[in-house]
């Protein structure tokens, strides 16, 4: 077994990239003290970075919902020696919420976090030890055995209900039944791991879990095992110029006072597990509770310095109408309920900018099926406190499952972003024709129409001239067309400013789009086969690839007129 203590507050375990491009491993204390000196989190995968980002945000939300930028408790709150809320007056909730914006602005202008964060970590450091009587993001043996059936209790000689390192390591994701052929590690090394990396993957696993577990915690009624809260979202979050700005942009304070309660502030692990068993109303949970939700009760035994990870499934919480979750986009079902717009395998080739309308309201009344992500609403609230012409990067990072309800194993990672000026994305001039989000959405719809024409042109060539019943070929050609648009569109999006003539900038993209649309179709014509050129007879006329190309050009000019 490794050292009996590994405290995340003091020991290095978080991978970051510094401002010179060098990789470092830092502790929680070092990260919060020097956040402006790091570009970003830089773990093994972007999904891992997001899971850890949310843990960091849970700490910040907890601290700054209680202490202002001077490190003083809000007047309306009474705190104990561990900075935990003892009492507050419900009549003063509006005053507390109002003070959050001032705290945020003063921190952002200062460019660093106050000592209050590290003081909180020091006072609660016993909650962040990876070992000990209450190990971080795990439970001890006594708690585990008390919560599972008798035949599933801890037995290192005949372990039941375990998950291997190679399975929680999502760069491998190999179960004992399905070997990962294209693995970054050799078979002998798949279960070998350093302690700092194990900690990062344990946190990630609690957020992104499949549902193949055979062991569940004891409950009176049957329940569906959680696949991990973060796994069930269609994520969106913000990125700034450095890690400090990223943490600040995603430091979302609620519009109504709600006491923050991350998992480590529950009185005991058993009380936390019992709390999850009650199937609490998700919309009533604090942000820090959502950011630190467990999907599994884990216990780690050590043999020959290697971990044996025992796992038991915890109940799944409903994501429906959970608008207190800031980092997701939303869809509406036929019953009028909103649920997170999860990504699926057929979304993998769709660039984030093409879903622009999911991330921000694009007209004054908004679509009846649209609910704005919490992070966008928050950015609108703080936009006036950002520097002029400040660029914000909106990101989406998701694990895509295999679509199998009995496994939900991750098969791919979706990671995309676009960069845009904050005052363009968050334009408040909704009623005006100059409202940027609507103009951007109009341009994207125009682009999609051109994409449909490109698909139709290729479909005519493949199915009619070549007599092939293969939509996959056509879809691949269309995907290549959109890939050729990605970089030019992202550059156009980043070039937008509030002082520009909207029609002129839209026309600028139209000219670029026209050029690419013709160029991509020209490549299809250049690769024409003799059969494409000879063509087929249609209504007494001969139709060939040049005929279809001319029709395509006319339709493109009509659309872009």
- Give the per-residue pLDDT at 186: 61
Report the distance separating Cα 346 and Cα 196, nearest Å.
Answer: 34
Q: What is the chain's pLDDT, residue by residue, as a tens digit (561 residues)?
A: 566 899 999 999 999 999 999 999 999 999 999 999 999 999 999 999 999 999 999 999 999 999 999 999 999 999 999 999 998 877 778 899 999 999 999 999 999 999 999 999 999 999 999 998 999 999 999 999 999 999 999 999 999 999 998 889 877 776 666 655 555 666 656 678 999 999 999 999 999 999 988 899 999 999 999 999 999 999 999 999 999 999 999 999 988 999 999 999 999 999 999 999 999 999 999 999 999 999 999 999 999 889 999 999 999 999 999 999 999 999 999 999 999 999 999 999 999 999 999 999 998 655 677 999 999 999 999 999 999 999 999 999 999 998 888 888 888 999 999 999 999 999 988 888 999 999 999 999 999 999 999 999 999 999 999 999 888 999 999 999 999 999 999 999 999 999 999 999 999 999 999 999 999 999 999 999 999 999 998 888 899 999 999 999 999 999 998
- 264 and 355 Cβ atoms separated by less than 8 Å: no
- 83 and 59 Cβ atoms separated by less than 8 Å: no
User: Of the candidates 5, 297, 4, which has an alpha carbon nearest to the alpha carbon of residue 154?
Assistant: 297
Quick check: helix, strand or coil at residue 315?
strand
User: Of the candidates 306, 559, 540, 300, which has an alpha carbon nearest to the alpha carbon of residue 453?
Assistant: 559
* CATH class of domain segment(s) 436-559: mainly alpha
User: Of the candidates 420, 549, 408, which has an alpha carbon nearest to the alpha carbon of residue 496?
Assistant: 420
Instruction: Sort 415 into a burial class: Cβ within 10 Å, 0-12 / 13-18 / 19+.
Output: middle
Report the distance separating Cα 205 and Cα 75, nearest Å.
Answer: 39
- Give the per-residue pLDDT at 304: 87
User: Of the candidates 251, 247, 253, which has an alpha carbon nearest to the alpha carbon of residue 94?
Assistant: 253
Cα 186–chain centre separation: 30
- Give the per-residue pLDDT at 169: 87
Burial 225-251 (b: 16+ CB within 10 A, else e): bbbbbbbbbbbbbbbbebbbbbbbbbb
**What is the phi/psi pair of residue 528, to 5°?**
-65, 140
- 314 and 225 Cβ atoms separated by less than 8 Å: yes
Each domain of the chain, given as residue ranges in start order, spans: 330-425, 436-559
Q: Does pTM top 0.85 for this prediction? A: yes
Report the distance separating Cα 300 and Cα 108, nearest Å.
Answer: 40
Report the distance separating Cα 411 and Cα 401, nearest Å.
Answer: 6
Report the distance separating Cα 239 and Cα 233, nearest Å.
Answer: 18
Residue pointed to by tokens 């900690």? 199
- The alpha carbon torsion through 349, 352, 357, 361 (nearest 10 deg) reads 160
Q: What is the 3-state secondary structure (H, E, C) of 368-419?
A: CCCCCCHHHHHHHHHHHHCCCCCEEEEEEEEEEECCCCCCCCEEEEEEEEEE
Report the distance separating Cα 313 and Cα 295, nearest Å.
Answer: 7
Cα 333–chain centre separation: 22
- 185 and 172 Cβ atoms separated by less than 8 Å: yes
**DSSP strands (E only) in 240-325:** 296-303, 306-313
User: Of the candidates 104, 98, 92, 96, which has an alpha carbon nearest to the alpha carbon of residue 66?
Assistant: 96
């Amino acid at each position: 077994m490794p050292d009996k203590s590994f405290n995340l507050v003091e020991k290095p375990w978080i991978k970051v990239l510094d401002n010179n491009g060098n990789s470092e491993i830092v502790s929680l204390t070092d990260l919060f003290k020097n956040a402006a000196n790091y570009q970003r989190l830089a773990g093994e995968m972007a999904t891992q970075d997001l899971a850890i980002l949310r843990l960091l945000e849970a700490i910040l939300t907890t601290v700054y919902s209680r202490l202002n930028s001077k490190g003083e408790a809000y007047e309306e709150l009474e705190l104990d020696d561990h900075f935990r809320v003892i009492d507050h007056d419900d009549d003063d909730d509006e005053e507390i919420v109002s003070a959050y914006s001032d705290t945020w602005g003063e921190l952002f202008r200062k460019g660093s976090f106050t000592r209050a964060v590290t003081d909180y970590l020091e006072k609660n450091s016993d909650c962040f030890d990876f070992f000990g009587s209450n190990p971080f993001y795990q439970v001890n043996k006594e708690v585990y055995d008390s919560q599972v059936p008798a035949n599933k209790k801890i037995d290192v000689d005949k372990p039941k209900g375990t998950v291997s390192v190679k399975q929680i390591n999502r760069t491998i994701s190999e179960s004992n039944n399905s070997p990962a052929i294209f693995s970054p590690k050799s078979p002998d090394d798949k279960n070998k791991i350093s302690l700092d990396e194990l900690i990062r993957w344990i946190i990630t696993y609690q957020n992104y879990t499949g549902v193949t577990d055979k062991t569940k915690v004891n409950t009176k009624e049957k329940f569906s095992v959680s696949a991990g809260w973060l796994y069930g979202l269609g994520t969106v979050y913000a990125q700034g110029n450095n890690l400090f700005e990223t943490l600040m942009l995603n430091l979302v304070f609620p519009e109504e006072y709600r006491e923050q309660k991350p998992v480590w502030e529950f009185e005991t692990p058993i009380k936390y597990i019992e709390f999850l068993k009650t199937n609490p109303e998700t919309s009533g949970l604090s942000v820090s509770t959502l950011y630190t939700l467990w999907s599994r009760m884990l216990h780690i035994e050590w043999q020959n310095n290697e971990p044996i990870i025992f796992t038991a499934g915890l109940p799944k919480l409903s994501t429906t109408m959970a608008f207190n979750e800031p980092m997701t986009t939303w869809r509406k079902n036929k019953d009028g309920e909103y649920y997170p717009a999860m990504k699926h395998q057929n979304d993998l080739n769709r660039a984030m900018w093409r879903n622009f309308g999911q991330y921000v309201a694009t007209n004054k009344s908004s679509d009846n099926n649209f609910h704005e992500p919490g992070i966008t609403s928050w950015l609108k609230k703080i936009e006036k406190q950002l520097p002029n012409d400040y660029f914000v990067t909106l990101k989406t990072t998701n694990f895509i499952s295999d679509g199998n309800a009995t496994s939900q194993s991750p098969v791919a990672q979706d990671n995309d972003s676009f960069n845009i000026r904050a005052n363009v994305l968050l334009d408040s001039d909704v009623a005006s024709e100059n409202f940027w989000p609507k103009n951007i959405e109009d341009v994207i719809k125009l682009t999609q129409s051109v994409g449909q024409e490109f698909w139709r042109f290729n479909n005519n060539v493949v199915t009619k001239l070549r007599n092939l019943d293969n939509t996959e070929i056509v879809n691949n050609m269309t995907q290549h067309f959109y890939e050729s648009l990605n970089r030019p569109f992202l550059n156009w999006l980043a070039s937008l400013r509030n002082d520009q003539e909207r029609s002129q900038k839209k026309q600028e993209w139209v000219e670029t789009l026209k050029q690419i649309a013709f160029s991509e179709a020209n490549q299809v014509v250049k690769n024409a086969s003799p059969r494409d050129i000879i063509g087929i007879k249609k209504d007494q006329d001969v139709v060939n690839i040049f005929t279809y190309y001319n029709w395509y050009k006319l339709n493109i000019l009509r659309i872009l007129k």
